[in-house]
Structure 1
Amino acid sequence: MWTSRRRSLASSTERGCQHGVVPGCGARRSWPPIMPGGIGRAPEWPDQRRPRVASGPVTNRRARQTHHLRRDRDLITKTYRTWGRQEHHREWTTLNLLALHQPGLAPEPISAELDREPPSITMTALPGDPIVGYWTDDQIHLLAKAMRRLWDVPGDRPAPIDMHNAHYWRHLAARSLRPASGVELRAFDLTVDWITGPALNSLLDGRTLQILGQGDPQPGNMLYDGRGIRLVDFEDAGASDVCFELANFAEHLGARGTGLDRLADLIDHDHRRYHLYRRLIASFWLFRLLPDPTGARPPRTAELHDQAVRLIDLFD
């Protein structure tokens, strides 16, 4: 299926200047300087150059990309390398909802080949860069404004991602290697006991999935142009819970050292459910940092230890 949205285009020079692709026009840089991935996937920077907007530690790691981005002046074509979770449909639906209800917050959808293998989506480029390091208070307030716009979008949202299903977590725990000893073993056992118990069913009963969530709040998916925050990468978008989204900002491994957990101070939420979702998402990262039974992932011993300590604290 080929789908298209009609839009008016300025002259080539105007478009290039507006999106920062004509040398000497003084426009801001525009997306994509990176190839953002989904949850657990770090952004990829061409030639290993990272635009630095704020100073501080960088915790993201390079990882296998789930898509390829090709730029043609002010348009971006995203071709998916994996689409078994209907990532392309999620993104196309979300971009159209945002174009209708919150224009300017995300790329404008232009056309899509959703039934082709591999599927692809063409959208507009955006100005701005990811913020690297610790976010200022002003940047956190701009992020809160952007997220409120996203979460206020009405209409038929994509279905919730699998992380909102208790079976997903039990399957994840069952296929993870149990550590031999230490805080890693204690964190693993606490997590498995909780995930396999009745409390998780209550948390994930679906009654609080009332907003449109992005699902992957790593800093590479948020672009700052000095005046506002725009959002990219909606492969994991779908019906969600505000508490889940806030917890994801607090616990995403790629957001460590950024201060994105301060977003929760600006958004009304249920504090108990927020804490439980933080525990749940921290559990995801514990499982992800464990040695892979297939040997596909290299061991990350120091990070695993730190994550185990962090997770145990969330059980206190």
Structure 2
Amino acid sequence: MGGHSIEVRSDVVIKRYRSWHHDEPGREWRALKLLDEHDPGLAPAPVTAELTADPPSVVMSRLDGAAVSGEITGKLVDALAEAVTAVQQAIPPRELERMPARAGHPVELLRLVREQAAVVEPDPPRAEALRAARAWVERPALEQVLAQPGTPVFGTGDGNIANYLWDGTKVRVIDFEYSGRSDRAFELAEVSEHIAVWENDPAGMTAVLERLELTAAESARLTECRRLMALFWLLRVREAVRSEQADRTLALLQAG
């Protein structure tokens, strides 16, 4: 069972939360209000919220378009690059500083995969990747590298490709349960390495990332964060896609 239920009406969407351990309703409502103020139309408009109800709920406008599916090519590449950049940069720095950090942090994720990579019995499709991963996660300076602050951006907290709605002209963004202050490289790593992205298109978000201009520091941090996210998914994917995920993880770990 997921962390929420969705009721879609003709003009609005009602989201009811089954879990609010990370203040999911509050995060979503805050994000919708700020995005509507600073970049209206990029995300659903906030309508009403019952944040203290049981269960809490958020009502938002219904957007046109459907979840991105199939090959990420042509106009969709540019539209996704524009949407990913827009949502990260929509909230002004002064307001971003006052936001709570997004749920989940690179160092938290590193500690989690360290534990899980150490105890998992590797099956053949992922044995080599896990051996390389164990060496990578135990690098003495890795935690320090991931703890360094990257370029501050608003983070959606979820890289699932289904959260990007395409109407043939523009991409809009939904689902901000885990959103908050984050850094650019980590957010790009999450969306580019999310398992749903790779299951959607064997090329993933490669073409989208090529459209983005990154500083040298952002590129270096993105490499490490992509490795981290790929390993996270390798430890979780179902057997049917384990071999492909192992290959992707190994390729990232072996890249220069």
Indicate the TM-score class for this superposition, using the shorter chain for normalisation.
Answer: 0.7 to 0.9
Q: Identity, % of aligned pairs? A: 33
Distance 1:114 1:200, change over 3 A: farther
Structure 1 stretch 105-114 or stretch 305-314: which is displaced more? 305-314
SS of residue paired to 1:118: coil
Residue segments in structure 2 that go unaligned for 5+ positions in a row: none
Query: Does the Cα contact within 8 Å between 2:13 and 2:59 map onto a contact in 1?
Result: yes
Q: 1:210 aligns with which of 152, 157, 171?
A: 152
- Higher relative contact order (CA closer than 8 Å, sequence separation 6+): 2
Q: Distance in 2 between matches of 1:246 and 1:151?
A: 10
Equivalent residue number for residue 184 of structure 1: 126
> Do the aligned partners of residues 108 and 190 (structure 1) sit closer, same or farther apart at CA in structure 2, a change above 3 Å counting?
same
State which of 131, 137, 150 in structure 1 corresponds to 2:74: 137
| Counterpart for residue 54 of structure 1 | none
Paired letter, 2:110: W
Residue 225 of structure 2 corresponds to residue 277 of structure 1: yes
Match of 1:171 in 2: 112
Measured in 2, the distance between the counterparts of 1:229 and 1:86 equals 27
Deviations 1:16-63 (A, max 9, x none): xxxxxxxxxxxxxxxxxxxxxxxxxxxxxxxxxxxxxxxxxxxxxxxx
TM-score using structure 1 length: 0.70
Shift of 1:159: 1.3
- Rate the CA distance shift 1:259–1:314 in 2: closer, same or farther, 3 A: closer
Matches within 5 A, 1:211-230: 211-230=153-172
- Please state if 1:260 is matched with 2:202: no
* CA gap 1:225/1:170 in 2 versus in 1, 3 angstroms: same
Q: Which moved more, 1:253-262 or 1:100-109?
A: 253-262
User: What letter corresponds to residue 56 of structure 2 in structure 1?
Assistant: P
Equivalent-residue separation in structure 2 for 1:165 and 1:259 (angstroms): 21
- After TM superposition, list the pairs within 5 Å mapping 1:214-253 onto structure 2: 214-253=156-195
Q: Per residue, is there more helix in 1 or in 2? A: 2
What is the TM-score with the length of structure 2 in the denominator? 0.86
Q: CA deviation at 1:220?
A: 1.1
**Aligned with 2:78: secondary structure?**
helix
Aligned residue pair count: 242
SS of alignment partner, residue 135 of structure 1: coil
Look up the SS of the partner of 2:5 in the other structure.
Answer: strand
Question: In the TM superposition, what is the alpha-carbon distance from 1:179 to its structure 2 partner?
Answer: 2.0
Tell which structure's C-alpha radius of gyration is larger: 1
